């Protein structure tokens, strides 16, 4: 399976990838996007099985990426790993079709809990 990690922080992308490996998902094809526009383009072109996105990114926010993908009929598993968490954000994510919402800081155990049902 292919997993797209989208975050404008290179360090945070590395932390997410490392945590995926610690949680036992390192054998999947892990690809990265540095902003929302790149995430949308990679999602369209490379057809990942799962997208793990930050909320706030340049050029296009994570929620806008999700809305554009869903608007185009793309049903890829998509969710957020973000340091910000308000009731409004969670509601917007659910209404847009997000599959999960993980708050930073996170652990390998939390990743396993969320991603095991998705990735098997």
pLDDT tens per residue, range 42-74: 999 999 999 999 999 999 999 999 999 999 999
List the structure tokens of 94: 């659910």
This prediction's pTM? 0.96
Extents of the domains making up the chain:
2-119
CA–CA separation, 96 vs 90, rounded Å?
Answer: 10
| 6-51 confidence digits (pLDDT tens) | 999 999 999 999 999 999 999 999 999 999 999 999 999 999 999 9
Per-residue HEC secondary structure of 42-90 comes to HHHHHCCCEEEECCCCCCCCHHHHHHHHHHCCCCCEEEEEECCCCHHHH
Q: How confident is the model at residue 90 (pLDDT cuts 50, 70, 90)?
A: very high
84, pLDDT greater than 90:
no
Q: What is 2-119's CATH number? A: 3.40.50.2300
Please determine, for residue 120, whether its predicted confidence score (pLDDT) is greater than 90.
no
In which residue are the tokens 């990743």 written? 111
**CA nearest to 76, candidates 99, 110, 103, 95:** 99
């Amino acid at each position: 399976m292919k997993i797209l990690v989208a975050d404008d922080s290179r360090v945070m992308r590395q932390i997410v990838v490392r945590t995926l490996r610690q949680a036992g998902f390192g054998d999947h094809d892990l690809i990265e996007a540095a902003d929302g526009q790149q995430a949308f383009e990679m999602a369209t072109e490379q057809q990942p099985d799962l997208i793990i996105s930050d909320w706030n990114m340049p050029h296009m926010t994570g929620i806008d990426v999700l809305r554009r993908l869903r608007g185009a009929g793309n049903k890829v598993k998509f969710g957020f790993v973000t340091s910000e968490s308000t009731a409004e954000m969670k509601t917007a994510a659910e209404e847009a079709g997000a599959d999960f919402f993980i708050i930073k800081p996170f652990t390998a155990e939390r990743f396993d809990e969320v991603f095991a049902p998705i990735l098997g």
